[in-house]
Structures are given as structure tokens and as C-alpha cells.
Amino acid sequence: MESGSIRPEAWSRREFTGWVTCAAALAAFAPRAAAREAAEPPFRISLAEWSLNRALFGGTLTNLDFPRVAAEEYDIHAVEYVNTFFKDKATDFAYLRELEKRCKDHGVESRLIMIDAEGSLGDADASSRAQAIENHLRWIAAASFLGCMAIRVNAYGEGAPDEVAKRVADSLHHLATYADAYKLDVIVENHGGTSSDGAWLAGVMKLAAHPRVGTLPDFGNFHLAEGRDYDRYKGVGEMMPFARAVSAKSYDFDEKGEETAIDYHRMLKIVLDGGYRSFLGLEYEGSRLSEHDGILATKKLVLRVREELA
């Protein structure tokens, strides 16, 4: 026995009683702590800005309004931007500071920026591909300024799928190496064409071979070329091992509140079985309901299914 240690038989009755009482209290606390942990929802929700694209394109809403609308109208406190709605502001830090302030004023967290129309990361022309990479760099800085965790990019390119995959993977590796200094991820969405082939996109992830590269599975974007569709459930399952964000796309709802094109019970089970425990971005893209009603219907469905699966 080490010098200075106290043997149990040397404890006083008061010390021993105190120890037993403390141990009993800790034992009683443990199941309550476990119950609280178990009660935590498996994922939280965010709002994708594209859900409000009609209002934004129509001028009744601006990108600066987005955090307030998310919080006040939908009680959603995390947002996903689309660069289309502030395309010329990537390096305008006065603008970004105002956007950051509005987020703080309304208790809203900025999650990511979806980047479109900044060039093809799989372009066969090396100089065009280099320009596309450079165009994305400023959005990495903007996303970091806003406190985001990622930018979403597209895996577009012309040519044979294997060749496009190599070029896209190389571009992603370059972007992720740059983004690593900002502690940001570079994530790819299934967004039409070859990128909507889940197996192909999973292969791109492996080729990119960078811990900052990941996927953003979207429930709805599985349209391949020439009018062909990829199995959405298979595709999401193939992308889930690399998922850093997930987009809960919706189009329309029946009288029971179920999405008419996507089995949300099946889809969210795939997401949860894949071990995903981060934000689920609500993205209403329908036309029958108003944007307001469509967002609320999507939120209601997601929260109901989340409770059932939990």
C-alpha cells in the first residue's frame, strides 16, 4: 500500500456513512442522466433558403430578411443560405457583418452556403477548372465569417463519368485543403446528371480522399440524364457514410400530411440507420401550396416522423 493512503477499515463511521450516501446519490443520478440523453432528438432542423425562392426572386424578401423569417415565422433557428441570393456579397464584409448581426439578433445559427454558378469543378479544360476552384474560395471565407460549418458545391463536368469523377475529386481535394484552415467542410449534393448517381458520388468521395470532403444527400434530386431517375432510397443510403448535412426535400402533401412523392418514414430511417445525428435541412420545392404553408407542412411531417422513429 502506498504511503499516506487510508485503508477502508480505518475510516470513521461518519466518513463511511458519508461515502455510502454520496455513492447512492450518484447511482440514482446515473439513470436520470441517461434518460435525459436518450430524450435528446436524433437530429435538429434547419431551413434551406431555396424554400423561399419565389419570395426572394420576387423581391418581397431579401437574403438579409431570411434569419428573421426563419425564426419568427417558422420557429427554426438554423439556416442554410443559397449564394444566388447574395451573389455579389461574398467579399462584402460590411454586408456579411450585417447578416451575422441579424442572425444573432434572432438567435439563428448559420449552417452552410449552397454554391451555384461558380464554374464546373469537373471541367475538362484545366484553366476553366482552376478558375472554378478560385471562384469557390471566396465563399469559403464568407461561410467562415458567418460561422458556417460547410459550403455545398456541385459535381458537374462533361465527358465520361470516370474522367469527370477524377477531375471533380481533384478539385474537391484542393478546396478542402484550403477550407481546412477555416475548419470548414466542402460537401457535394446530388444535384442532377451524373451527380445524382449515388454510387458514382460515393466513388468521388473516396477519390477525393480528404477528411473535409463529404456529401449532402437530398431526398429529391435524383434526376439523371435523358429523363432517367436514380432510386432515391438507394442513393441516399449510398451517400450517408459521407454525409455532413441532409436536405429534406418536399413537393406536396396528402390529406394525412404525408409527402406524396417521398416516403419520409423510410427515408428518415435510412438517415438515422446511417448514424447521422446532425441537422436536417427543410427544403420545400412544391408549387401547389404557398411557400409558407409548404415549409410548415414539411416541418410538421419531419417532427412527427422524428418522434415516431426516436
Same domain flag for 117 and 197: yes
Same domain flag for 155 and 210: yes
Quick one: cell of 300?
A: 410538421
Q: How confident is the model at residue 40 (pLDDT cuts 50, 70, 90)?
A: confident
For 4-17, how does the pLDDT look when each residue is reduced to its tens digit (9 = 90+)? 443 434 444 444 34
The predicted structure's pLDDT at residue 38:
52
Residue 274 has pLDDT above 70, yes or no: yes
Same domain flag for 85 and 2: no
- CB atoms < 10 A from the CB of 81, how many? 27
Quick one: cell of 188?
A: 457535394
Q: Worst-scoring range by mean pLDDT, 38-42, 166-170, 299-303?
A: 38-42
Instruction: Confirm if 256 and 262 have CB atoms less than 8 A apart.
Output: no
Domain of residue 1 covers 1-40
pLDDT above 90 as % of the chain: 85
The predicted structure's pLDDT at residue 310:
82
Average pLDDT of the chain is 91
Quick one: cell of 262?
A: 417521398
Q: At what angle do helices 66-74 and 291-309 cross, to 10 degrees?
A: 60
Same domain flag for 55 and 93: yes
304: domain CATH number is: 3.20.20.150
Same domain flag for 208 and 92: yes
pTM, two decimals, is: 0.87
Same domain flag for 30 and 54: no
The predicted structure's pLDDT at residue 60:
97
Alpha-carbon gap, residue 112 to 110, rounded angstroms: 6
Residue whose C-alpha cell reads 447512492 in the numeric block: 24
Same domain flag for 35 and 77: no
For 72-82, how does the pLDDT look when each residue is reduced to its tens digit (9 = 90+)? 999 999 999 99
Q: How confident is the model at residue 289 (pLDDT cuts 50, 70, 90)?
A: very high
Residue 160 has pLDDT above 50, yes or no: yes
Alpha-carbon gap, residue 270 to 273, rounded angstroms: 5
Which element (helix H / strand E) includes 151?
Answer: strand 150-153
Residue 179 has pLDDT above 80, yes or no: yes
CA 265, 243, 192: angle at the middle one, nearest 5? Answer: 80
CA–CA distance from 300 to each of 213, 227, 303 (Å)? Answer: 31, 31, 5
Same domain flag for 103 and 250: yes
Same domain flag for 148 and 20: no
Q: How confident is the model at residue 31 (pLDDT cuts 50, 70, 90)?
A: low
Residue 39 has pLDDT above 90, yes or no: no
Q: Which residues pair with 13 in a beta bridge?
A: none
Alpha-carbon gap, residue 203 to 209, rounded angstroms: 10
Residue 101 has pLDDT above 80, yes or no: yes
Residue 291 has pLDDT above 70, yes or no: yes
Same domain flag for 146 and 275: yes
Q: Which residues pair with 78 in a beta bridge?
A: 109
Residue 194 has pLDDT above 90, yes or no: yes
- Domain tally for the chain? 2
The predicted structure's pLDDT at residue 25:
44
Mean pLDDT of the 256-270 span: 98
Same domain flag for 65 and 155: yes
Q: How many helices (H) and strands (E) does the chain have?
A: 10, 8
Mean pLDDT of the 222-229 span: 89
Same domain flag for 1 and 31: yes
pLDDT above 70 as % of the chain: 87
